[in-house]
């Protein structure tokens, strides 16, 4: 039968279309070691072809590739796995610069994956100035989410610059989950030692398990419903801080999109962002949102397209327990104002902090199941638009996705080459033609702007403005 898809995985697969391709990716530029041979990538390519051992999940393909919405869809092993198809070499005209690299990656990200094969690719790109090279990696969100794929890809890297034999990510066996200690039920009576009393002699029956699951889901639904009613009441009271679904204004990138993509990057020092966060009383994520908001406000003003109401961001929330190795899709969501209607940078940051604080308050005390249900309720208008084909034709549920993914805090190396940055690429789709994802790496924050080429043609300018906004915030708030 193969490995069945989870409900969330099936949603990403069902969302696949010619224009809305549901794959995520990453761009990883490297500086080679001084002793690197000139044919480094060719030698590596030949090495991979000589030992094409591929492990789960990298060897899995869809059982029914022509029927993506099949309820019986599952993953099966590709018995004719072709490593030459999945691992490729590309070259920029020498000497290649960052702009040419961005153009190439934009084009690669706009090409759909082949579902008759395991849905992933990795491209070795050479020709950058100074002998530098890059890896571009993409994978369908139905197979692995961004959190998991980043952790698996990092397994191909080493903290030792002299390590030259680290195997590629797709040849390494999958990480096994370490059993987590069971969290005691706070409503149950503890025994004398403070641990949960274990007095049952007989194991639970199937009926017991079904009833327990039903009670859990019912309780989660009640919790999620109460949190959603808080949002509804805030909207009726014209509370600007707690954002409700469908509160977002129309904007130029909330439209029907094409398959063409544009990708831009920005890198800022993490300590500068943290200093502003300390001074303002916000979080690092709040300051990142303020940088995105400043860039969007400036660009939309130039295009005479800034809505009078504030743009609204959807912020994915990772709800995995600490130490979870990943796997599948386990993401909640909140909505927050970007305060793009506020001219003063300091006041704009204050408004963002107030909005994210209120949004996070709704999640306090909720179980993981309740957070997922609450998030599904918040995202229901967007999901309905996607399923009915109304995305980009009606008012958006939000304007832009902004997510922040923690990354390695130590420098990493690939066969002796130092990883310089981690730039994420994500998913624009109908009605939501811009996605901004941020990855931390050592002492930097790396912004990846992925957009529809036709809906937002000045994407590189947006990335530049986001970087310049850091100087502006330091002057306005302090902390620099």
Q: Is 123 a catalytic residue?
A: no
How many CB atoms within 10 Å of residue 335? Answer: 24
Catalytic residue, from 23, 86, 109, 141: name it: 141
- Alpha-carbon dihedral 79, 85, 87, 91, rounded to 10 degrees: 180
- Take residue 272 and report the two structure tokens written for it: 């500068």
> Which H, E and C letters describe the chain, residue by residue?
CCEECCHHHHHHHHCCCCCCCCEEEEEEEEECCCCCCCCHHHHHHHHHHHCCCCCCCCCEEECCCCCCCCCCCEEEECCCCCHHHHEEEEEEEEEECHHHHHHHHHHHHCCCCCCCCCCEEEEEEEEEHHHCEEEEEEEECCCCCHHHHHHHHHCCCECCCCCCCCCCHHHCCCCCCCCCCCCCCCCCCECCCCCECCCCCCCCCHHHHHHHHHHHHHHHHHHHHHHHHHHHHHHHCCCCCCCCCCCCCCCCCCCCCCCCEEEEEEEEEHHHHHHHHHHHCCCHHHHHHHHHHHHHHHHHHHCCCCCCCCCEEEEEEECCCCCCCCCCCCEEEEEEECCCCCCCHHHHHHHHHHHHHHHHHCCCCCCHHHHHHHHHHHHHHHHHHHHHCCCCCCCCCCCEEEEEECCCCCCCEECCEEECCCEEECCCECCECEEEEEEEECCEEEEEEEEECCCCCCHHHHHHHHHHHHHHHHHHHCCC
| Strand duo 400-405 + 434-441: pairing | parallel
156 with 148: CB under 8 angstroms?
no
What span, in angstroms and rounded, lies between the C-alpha atoms of 385 and 371? Answer: 22
What span, in angstroms and rounded, lies between the C-alpha atoms of 212 and 456? Answer: 49
What span, in angstroms and rounded, lies between the C-alpha atoms of 15 and 149? Answer: 20
User: What is the set of active-site residues?
Assistant: 141
């Amino acid at each position: 039968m193969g490995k069945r898809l989870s409900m969330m995985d099936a949603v990403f697969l069902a969302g696949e279309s010619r224009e809305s391709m549901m794959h995520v990716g990453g761009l990883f530029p490297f500086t080679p070691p001084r002793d690197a041979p000139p044919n480094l990538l060719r030698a590596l390519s030949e090495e991979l072809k000589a030992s094409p051992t591929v492990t789960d999940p990298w060897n899995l393909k869809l059982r029914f590739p022509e029927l993506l919405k099949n309820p019986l869809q599952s993953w099966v092993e590709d018995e004719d796995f072709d490593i030459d198809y999945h691992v490729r070499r590309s070259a920029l005209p020498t000497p290649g610069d960052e702009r040419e690299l961005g153009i190439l990656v934009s084009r690669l990200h706009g090409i759909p994956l082949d579902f008759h094969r395991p849905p992933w690719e990795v491209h070795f790109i050479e020709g950058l100035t100074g002998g530098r090279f890059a890896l571009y990696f993409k994978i369908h969100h139905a197979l692995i989410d961004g959190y998991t794929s980043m952790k698996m890809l990092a397994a191909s890297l080493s903290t030792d610059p002299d390590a030259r034999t680290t195997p590629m990510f797709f040849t390494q066996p999958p990480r096994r989950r370490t059993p987590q200690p069971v969290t005691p039920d706070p409503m149950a009576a503890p025994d004398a030692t403070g641990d949960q009393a274990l007095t049952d002699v007989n194991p639970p029956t199937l009926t017991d398990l079904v009833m327990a699951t039903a009670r859990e889901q019912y309780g989660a639904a009640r919790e999620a419903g109460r949190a959603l009613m808080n949002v509804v009441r805030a909207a009726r009271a014209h509370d600007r801080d707690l954002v409700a679904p469908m509160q977002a204004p129309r904007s130029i990138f909330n439209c029907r999109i094409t398959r063409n993509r544009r990708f831009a990057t920005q890198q800022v020092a993490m300590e500068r962002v943290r200093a502003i966060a300390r001074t303002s009383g916000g979080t690092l994520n709040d300051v990142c949102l303020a940088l995105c908001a400043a860039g969007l406000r400036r660009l939309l003003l130039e295009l005479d397209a800034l809505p009078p109401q504030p743009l609204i961001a959807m912020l994915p929330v990772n709800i995995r327990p600490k130490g979870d190795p990943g796997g599948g899709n386990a993401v909640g969501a909140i909505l927050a104002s970007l305060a793009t209607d506020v001219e003063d940078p300091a006041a704009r940051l204050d408004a963002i902090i107030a909005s994210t604080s209120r949004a996070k308050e709704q999640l306090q005390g909720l179980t993981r199941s309740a957070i997922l249900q609450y998030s599904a309720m918040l995202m229901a208008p967007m999901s309905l638009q996607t399923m009915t084909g109304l995305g980009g034709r009606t008012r958006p549920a939000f304007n832009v996705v902004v997510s922040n993914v923690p990354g390695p805090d130590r420098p990493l190396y690939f066969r002796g080459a130092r990883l310089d940055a981690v730039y994420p690429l994500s998913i624009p789709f109908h009605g939501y033609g811009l996605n901004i994802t941020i990855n931390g790496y050592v002492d930097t924050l790396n912004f990846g702007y992925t957009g529809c080429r036709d809906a937002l043609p000045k994407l590189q300018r947006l990335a530049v403005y986001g970087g310049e906004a850091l100087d502006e915030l330091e002057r306005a708030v302090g902390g620099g």
